[in-house]
Structure 1
Amino acid sequence: MLTVLLAISFPVVAGCGGKPVDGVAAVAPVPLPPSASSAAPASPPSSSASSPAPSSSSRPAPSAAPAPPSATPVRSCRTPEFTTSDPDGGWSDGGYYVHNNMWNAGEAGPETLRACAYDNWYVESTQPDSTSVKTYPNVHKDINNQNGKPVNDYSVIKSTFAGRGPGTGVYDVAYDLWLNGVGDGKGVSELMVWTENNKQVPSGDKLSTYTAGGATYDVWADDEGYVAFVSRSAQYSGSVDLKAMIGWAIAKGLIPANPTINQIGYGIEFCSTGGGKARFTLSDFSVTMS
């Protein structure tokens, strides 16, 4: 639930269903020239740019159809330009940053990310059968070098995606947006959009529902600036109007008015793979801001 290249302090890791510290580890600013070796961090209080400390949750997980094992994206990464097993390894490509982001490396098992492009990569992860969020491999875009710009400066903030989880274990595939900063700082808000969910539970409480683009989301929030739009059915590809979601959350008083938007990421929060190897594949990602 949290992403970062910038070394921000790690928050307390929340359990699968809690606000993870991924953003704190995942917030890696886009490094300069792309190199095919490794380098960079990221993840917040949910698990992408930063996430709070994982803690076990007895709350039943919202149900969302897992990905059919036989269904795989048409596009695949056959000849990677970049490979890393470094917990903080990352690669800049096309104005985006692909990040292994194993922000909770102390509890995590091995994970290897292979990328052909920022919008065509996969990760193989082996995580123990426990409830804390371990990693948030993701691709993200830093706005104004993570300094951000006010949301009201934009008339359009939209994104396309295509990503599929393994359909086993405990995880969520999600957008992670950082507002008014990146990581676990004072006044920072984290807004997530879960497009696929397998036995994971967001932080906070379910407060409302939101419908757009033919999809219905349950909206969860806590009192620490975390908001999650959880799709009731799995979406393996599509587009989202992030500006509209931010505006709705502002109108509901869940985040401050006209926050800066600092980072937009998309990836998977792994809590568990049941001890075996599992793969997440991303075959499309773009962010349009104007």
Structure 2
Amino acid sequence: MKKVFLFSIAAIAMASCQKEAKAPAPVSANAKVEANWSSSAQYATWNAGSGYYIENNIWGSGAGFQSIWANSYSNWGVWSDQPNTSGVKSYPNSDYGVHQTFSGLHTVQSSFNVTVPSSGAAAESTYDIWCNNYAYEIMIWENWTGAVNPIAVGYNGNGTPIATYTNVTPTSGGPTYTVYVGSNGTNAVYSFLNNSQTSSGTVNIKDILNFIQSKGVTFTTLDKVQFGFEITSSNGGLNFDCNSYSATVN
């Protein structure tokens, strides 16, 4: 299970005031010479404004070094050196806290553009959405490489997909996803894998959540919308860059 942060006022103040040294490892050229913020701390968190936080989030067992930089909530990245072993090591991400009643939401939509390694890594670019006080986790995989698989045990029991689903945007039909359901031992996990892997796009998240509700789930709250890179291995160090990203909730 990924580390989920519930921010206190004291923690936010500390993160905002602390001046952190630049990480010694190389970072992407997109960070330019001086990013607005950078860190190599395990759970480094930066208040990027407008309700967003950037998180380094190195949470998995056996994790290696990872440095993060950010110019804004929309433009950030990591240089990550994770060993070639199984298990997720980190989930650096842009975190947007919603904390609203689901029935009152009309639009939940997001756009993204990333640059990721084409080889040498086991990782995915993915949304991580939390509902019902973190009882439900919804992952939306947009691209992936290497030996990574969705959680697919529990409800369907045998690791097979339960459905296919076509995302409906406000103007047209979007990509088709293969849907898996499982449990990580703490919460239910729905995983949507894009059948046409992409490095950029727009996602109607509200429609995805409505689709899950059509399968018998009732969402009472939308807690968080996160987008980032779930990294299992990147031996020797690789760049994962978020060129642009935004979430719209109303």
**Cα gap change, 1:233 to 1:36, in 2 (>3 Å):** farther
- Percent identical across equivalent pairs? 27
Partner of 1:157: 108
Q: 1:252 aligns with which of 215, 224, 238?
A: 215
- How far, CA to CA, are the matches of 1:35 and 1:282 in structure 2? 25
C-alpha contact 2:93 2:228 (8 A) present in aligned 1: yes
C-alpha contact 2:117 2:240 (8 A) present in aligned 1: yes
Render the CA deviation track for 1:39-67: whole Å, top value 9, x for unaligned. xxxxxxxxxxxxxxxxxxxxxxxxxxxxx
Partner of 1:277: 237
Cα shift at 1:234: 1.9
Structure 2 residue identity aligned to 1:238 = G
Secondary structure at the residue paired with 2:242? strand
Say which structure, 1 or 2, has more relative contact order (CA 8 Å, 6+ apart).
2
Structure 2 residue identity aligned to 1:126 = D
Cα shift at 1:122: 1.1
Unaligned runs of 5+ in 1: 1-20, 39-72, 183-187
Matches within 5 A, 1:38-77: 76-77=30-31
Matches within 5 A, 1:199-210: 199=146, 200-204=148-152, 205=159, 206-210=161-165
Cα shift at 1:264: 0.6
**Cα gap change, 1:250 to 1:135, in 2 (>3 Å):** same
Secondary structure at the residue paired with 1:244? helix
C-alpha contact 1:29 1:142 (8 A) present in aligned 2: no
Q: Name whichever structure is richer in strand by fraction.
A: 2
Partner of 2:52: 96
Matches within 5 A, 1:94-173: 94=49, 95-104=51-60, 106-143=61-98, 148-168=99-119, 169-173=121-125
Q: 2:202 aligns with which of 227, 239, 244?
A: 239
Partner of 1:7: none
Structure 1 residue identity aligned to 2:19 = S
- How far, CA to CA, are the matches of 2:85 and 2:19 in structure 1? 31
- How far, CA to CA, are the matches of 2:222 and 2:19 in structure 1? 29
Secondary structure at the residue paired with 1:122? strand
Cα shift at 1:35: 4.4
Cα shift at 1:259: 2.5
- How far, CA to CA, are the matches of 1:92 and 1:234 in structure 2? 30
Render the CA deviation track for 1:110-166: whole Å, top value 9, x for unaligned. 0000111111111000011011000000001112xxxx2221111111111112321
Partner of 1:193: 140
After the TM superposition, which segments of 4 or more aligned residues of structure 1 sit over 6 Å from their partners?
none
- How far, CA to CA, are the matches of 1:154 and 1:189 in structure 2? 17
Q: 2:190 aligns with which of 205, 214, 227?
A: 227
Larger Rg: 2
C-alpha contact 2:89 2:231 (8 A) present in aligned 1: yes
Secondary structure at the residue paired with 2:30? coil
- Please tell me the root mean square deviation across aligned C-alpha atoms, in Å: 2.0
TM-score scaled by structure 1? Answer: 0.71
